Amino acid sequence: MRIEAADVGTRTDVLVTRLTGLSRSYVATAIKAGVVSVNGSAAKPSRILEEGDRLHFAIDPPPVYAVLPQAIPLDIVFEDETVMVVNKPAGLVSHPAHGSADGTLVNALLAHAGSLPGEAIRGGLVHRLDRDTSGLLVVAKTEAALSTLGRAMQKRYIKREYRGLVEGIPREAEGTIRGALGRDARNRMRYAIRSDGKPSITHYAVRERLRHAAELTFRLETGRTHQIRVHLAALGHPIINDPLYGRPDSRLALPGQALHAWKLEFKHPRTKEYLSFAVEPPPEYLAALTFLRG
């Protein structure tokens, strides 16, 4: 298509999003994969369009998953008619996606709750955890709760704290890591600190010094995919047993990275009561902690 005056000054990803009806993040990923061109050359999502530019795109829509209820055990920490707080085990995928069409937390939640608000594959989820990260998640059971909690997450009113085991002992007992995150150009399964990435901030504090390792707590100002894992690897202290950003540790019976979302605090979307929850890490994490104490 030829860019007319009405679309002059628009970002490429914004216009393609408007034309296709797909999500902007999905469109941006497609652009980076090279399926969108301007004047015959591969475009960047941020390219500003000019009058007379020739825009061409051919983006396949995302796969549609039939999300069915599945009787998967849930560790429910809190529940009422509006929200649930669940303790997700390591190894459980948060929602259906490529390579994990079923057997996910959302499948389990549907079996328990019957129905969930929002997009089918992310039904009720206000936030997510990586497959091998265990810990607390808040789930909305009504559209109103999903909307309210979604806004609270965007405004950073929902407080989350993680515990993690890292290689080595950071020089500073506490600190802040700032590094914008985006897809790793060399490995699409990974994320990396990039100048054109999304702003990301992680606060850390040493909870316990171990033998050649440490247990840290993490508090997030942003919630990017793999944020803690990328930031700690960049600091030189990757999460122990992290298959993507560190190295496997055969001495430890961990399913993946030693990372656990142990505290969660938020205002109830209906009653406005301030709720606070904490759960200890799973046995495999605690066994690794004991081992690393030497």
Please report whether residue 71 resides in a domain: no
* pLDDT the model gives residue 28: 86
Task: Give the CATH number for residue 16.
Answer: 3.10.290.10
On the question of pLDDT at 21 being above 90, the answer is no
Domain count, the chain: 2
The whole-number pLDDT of residue 109 equals 96
Q: Are 179 and 288 in contact (CB under 8 A)?
A: no
> What share of the chain has pLDDT > 70, as a percent?
98
State whether 48 and 141 are in the same domain: no
Task: Answer yes or no: is 68 within a domain.
Answer: no
Q: Residues 108-135: pLDDT tens digits?
A: 999 999 999 988 888 899 999 999 999 9
Domain co-membership, 187 together with 235: yes
Go through the chain and tell me how many residues it has.
294
Lowest-confidence region among 98-112, 230-244, 261-275: 98-112
**pLDDT tens-digit series, residues 195-228:** 999 999 999 999 999 999 999 999 999 989 999 9
Residues 150 and 221 in one domain: yes
Q: What's the rounded Cα separation, in Å, for the pair 127 and 224?
A: 10
Q: Indicate whether 50 and 96 sit together in one domain.
A: no
Report, as residue numbers or ranges, the catalytic residues: 130
Q: Are residues 53 and 193 in the same domain?
A: no
Q: 204: domain CATH number?
A: 3.30.2350.10
pLDDT digits (tens, 9 = 90+) for 30-62: 888 888 999 999 999 889 999 999 999 888 877
Residues 128 and 232 in one domain: yes
Whether 102 and 72 have beta carbons less than 8 Å apart is answered as: no
| Residue 41 sits in the same domain as residue 102 | no
User: Does residue 101 register a pLDDT over 80?
Assistant: no
Whether 250 contacts 280, CB under 8 Å: no
Using 50, 70 and 90 to split pLDDT, how confident is the model at 63? low
Sequence-distant (6+) residues with CB within 8 A of 158 are: 126, 127, 138, 149, 152, 264, 265, 266
Structure confidence by residue, pLDDT tens digits, 84-94: 999 999 999 99
Residues 124 and 49 in one domain: no
Domain containing 164: what range?
76-292
Per residue in 280-291, pLDDT (tens digit) is 999 999 999 999
Look at residue 170 and tell me whether its pLDDT is greater than 90.
yes
pLDDT number for residue 158: 96
- Please state the separation of Cα 267 from the chain's center in Å: 21
What is the rounded average pLDDT for all residues in the chain? 93
Same domain, 41 and 184: no
